[in-house]
């Protein structure tokens, strides 16, 4: 199928409009959540939101371009994409190439911004797994021929990410991959093996770093050390609770004044809840739900299995990070350091996600 000969339909308006809505809401949220940090670090209140506007605009340009590119291109070059992702993830670990903040080496400094390869690897892995299960649908129920090769690739990506170290992103990658295995047609018994083995690997990762075990213990008893290990979750819950039904008002958060760690990153949902309140945050969450439902509608009408797998993969990318981030902030899941899609500040995450959405929009143009 040649892109030039495609008779493209209009993009799915619902999926596109919910994407625009989430991106705009994210900019509004960051404009408030980042005021204190921007003023303290750069002497002006708008630094982080201005930077995020640039990232979003770049992401939308990429999204619109990819919405015109035949999505089968990503099937043909899926192996090259996963190879590039592995190279970048290895490069991050090399001193002098990888940019280190604290004890984490997760970025490559490109001068104009910090590239986070783990975010790009999510899209590369989704494309690779979609291509694999589409090409080998007759062997997918075979453990060795259908499951082990993509499992090794997924494990390689996750292993490189945990070496940064980034347990939260590793967890999201494995959950996205598990979803792809499920929709790809893997046997339930094989999926059960993956759950058990994944739990074992997760436990080993927790044991390997004392601070991860500390997070688990804090999750089980947040009040045990409110000024130490439990400080982050207690401040997050305080912010969420302070918002009540209607919130303190836009821009009126108290927790963003150096009380809550990562107010424009992992903890941005707490700031949202504090300022907007339960009712308005619920409306934002409904936009996420609409986004996913429109995505699943595109998947049902995709012209082939590859398009279907790709669309579900991108949709689940948002679902996984949304559930894990919100769950951690409200205290029903351990804190893992996963950003909230569209709402958290960051260039690589929003650009990679909008690129994935662009591919899905092209699939919607070729819908059955």
**223-238 pLDDT tens trace:** 777 777 789 999 999 9
The pLDDT value recorded for residue 1 is 44
Tell me which residue of 139, 215, 122 sits closest to 175, measured CA to CA. Answer: 122
DSSP conformational letter for 51: H
Rounded to an integer, the average pLDDT of 243-267 is 94
Question: pLDDT band at 4, cuts 50/70/90?
Answer: very low
Asked if the model's pLDDT at residue 215 lies above 50, the reply is yes
- The count of structural domains within the chain is 1
Q: Within 13 Å, how many C-alpha atoms sit on residue 14's CB side?
A: 13
Asked if the model's pLDDT at residue 44 lies above 90, the reply is yes
The pLDDT value recorded for residue 328 is 93
pLDDT tens figures, 10-36:
899 999 999 999 999 999 999 999 999
Asked if the model's pLDDT at residue 308 lies above 60, the reply is yes
Residue spans of alpha helices (H) in the chain: 13-33, 35-42, 47-66, 73-76, 78-92, 117-135, 148-162, 167-183, 188-208, 210-220, 231-243, 268-300, 305-329, 347-365
Place of tokens 């949220």: 29
* Four-point Cα dihedral 301, 305, 311, 313, nearest 10: 150
The pLDDT value recorded for residue 145 is 82
Question: pLDDT band at 249, cuts 50/70/90?
Answer: very high
- CA angle, residues 41, 47, 48, in degrees to nearest 5: 95
Helix (H) or strand (E) holding 100: strand 98-101
Backbone angles phi, psi at 12, to 5 degrees: -70, 115
- Tokens coding 202: 């997760």
Asked if the model's pLDDT at residue 220 lies above 90, the reply is no
- CA angle, residues 287, 59, 265, in degrees to nearest 5: 65
Helix (H) or strand (E) holding 105: strand 104-109
Q: Is the dihedral of CA 120, 37, 253, 166 positive or negative?
A: positive
% residues pLDDT > 90 (the chain) = 72
Helix (H) or strand (E) holding 114: strand 114-115
Asked if the model's pLDDT at residue 133 lies above 90, the reply is yes
More confident residue, 84 or 101: 84
CA 315 to chain centre: 10
C-alpha span between 90 and 97 (Å, rounded): 10
Residues in the chain: 368
Domain that holds residue 12: 3-365
- Angstrom CA distances, 133 to 153, 177, 182, 230, stand at 13, 12, 10, 42
Question: In 3-state terms, what secondary structure has residue 115?
Answer: strand
- Tokens coding 86: 């592995």
The pLDDT value recorded for residue 186 is 87
C-alpha span between 119 and 135 (Å, rounded): 25
Tell me which residue of 127, 158, 132, 156 sits closest to 146, measured CA to CA. Answer: 132
Cross-strand partners of 108: 98, 115
Instruction: Give 222-227 contacts, CB < 8 A, sequence gap 24+.
Output: 222/331
C-alpha span between 220 and 222 (Å, rounded): 6
pLDDT tens figures, 160-214:
999 998 888 999 999 999 999 999 988 888 899 888 888 887 788 777 777 777 7
DSSP per-residue letters across 85-99: HHHHHHHHTSBTTEE
Averaged pLDDT of the chain: 91
DSSP conformational letter for 338: P
CA 344 to chain centre: 10
More confident residue, 299 or 193: 299
Rounded to an integer, the average pLDDT of 259-264 is 92
C-alpha span between 150 and 128 (Å, rounded): 8
Asked if the model's pLDDT at residue 82 lies above 50, the reply is yes
The pLDDT value recorded for residue 7 is 61
């Amino acid at each position: 199928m040649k892109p030039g000969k495609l008779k493209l339909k209009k993009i799915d308006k619902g999926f596109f409009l919910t994407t625009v809505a989430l991106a705009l809401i994210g900019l509004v949220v960051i404009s408030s959540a980042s005021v204190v940090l921007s003023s303290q670090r750069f002497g002006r209140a708008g630094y982080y939101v201005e930077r995020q506007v640039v990232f979003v605009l770049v992401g939308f340009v990429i999204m619109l371009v990819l919405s015109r590119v035949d999505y089968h291109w990503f099937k043909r070059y899926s192996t090259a994409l996963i190879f590039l992702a592995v190279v970048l993830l290895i490069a991050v670990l090399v001193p002098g190439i990888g940019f280190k903040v604290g004890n984490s080496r997760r970025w490559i400094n490109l001068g104009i911004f910090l590239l986070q390869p783990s975010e790009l690897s999510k899209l590369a892995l989704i494309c690779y797994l979609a291509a694999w299960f589409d090409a080998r649908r007759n062997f997918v129920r075979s453990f060795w021929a259908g499951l082990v090769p993509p499992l090794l690739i997924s494990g390689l990506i996750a292993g490189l990410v945990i070496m940064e170290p980034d347990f939260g992103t590793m967890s999201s990658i494995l959950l996205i991959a598990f979803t792809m295995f499920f929709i790809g047609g893997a046997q339930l018994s094989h999926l059960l093996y993956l759950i058990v083995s994944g739990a074992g690997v997760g436990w080993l990762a927790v044991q390997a770093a004392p601070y991860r075990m500390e997070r688990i213990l804090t999750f089980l008893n947040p009040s045990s050390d409110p000024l130490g290990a439990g400080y982050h979750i207690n401040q997050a819950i305080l912010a969420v609770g302070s918002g009540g039904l209607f919130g303190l008002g836009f821009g009126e958060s108290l927790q963003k004044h150096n009380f809550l760690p990562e107010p424009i990153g992992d903890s941005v949902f707490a700031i949202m809840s504090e300022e907007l309140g339960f009712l308005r945050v619920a409306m934002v969450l409904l936009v996420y739900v609409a986004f996913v439902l429109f995505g699943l509608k595109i998947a049902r009408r995709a012209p082939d299995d590859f398009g279907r797998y790709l669309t579900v993969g991108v949709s689940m990318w948002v679902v996984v990070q949304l559930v894990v981030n919100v769950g951690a902030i409200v205290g029903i899941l351990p804190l893992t350091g996963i950003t909230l899609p569209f709402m958290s500040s960051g260039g690589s995450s929003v650009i990679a996600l909008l690129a994935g959405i662009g591919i899905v929009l092209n699939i919607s143009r070729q819908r059955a």
